[in-house]
A = this chain, B = another copy of it.
Amino acid sequence: MDGWTTETLVRVRFAETDAQAVAHHAAYLVWFEQARVEYLERWAGGYPALRARGVEAVVTQADLRYLVPARFDDRLSVWTRCRDVRGARFRFEYLVLRGGERLAEGWTSHACIDGRTLQPTRIPAWLREAIVRAESERPAAGAEPAAAEA
């Protein structure tokens, strides 16, 4: 298994649980988004900076696999990496761990759009370079959680 680039810590909120006493399955998309925001903050100056430069990113596709339910107050790690940066498009992949246990995995596809025209626009060169740098400088395998090696 390939390495992961960024770790985001999430603590399951009571409001995110449902009457099955587990985290509702829609909450994972919100955690993925939070992980993207932290990834972009760490590697590319932050999503607000992107928007300030007139670039918006929209979600075009999402895919989730739920393996083991998360529960109220669980501390989760959302590991993130960015792939397939091409033209206007890029893809984020996610792995949700609780300790060494895989709870869920997924990916989301995105397109850059011009904030004014709302038309697709190529990923700005500085953003593409920031992502390439992030993905090549990611922590060596030894720095990653055991479960991510499986």
Question: What is A's interface to B at a CB cutoff of 8 Å?
Answer: 13-15, 17-22, 24-27, 29-30, 33-34, 37, 46-48, 56, 58-66, 69, 71-73
Q: How many chain copies does the complex carry?
A: 4
B37 contacts A29, CB within 8 Å?
no
12 A-B pairs (CB sep. < 8 Å): A15-B30, A17-B18, A17-B19, A20-B58, A25-B29, A26-B27, A29-B29, A37-B73, A58-B66, A58-B69, A61-B64, A62-B62
B14 contacts A18, CB within 8 Å?
yes
A18 contacts B18, CB within 8 Å?
yes
| Alpha-carbon distance A47/B69, docked complex (angstroms) | 19
Kindly identify which residue among B19, B30, B66 contacts A59, using a CB–CB cutoff of 8 Å: B66
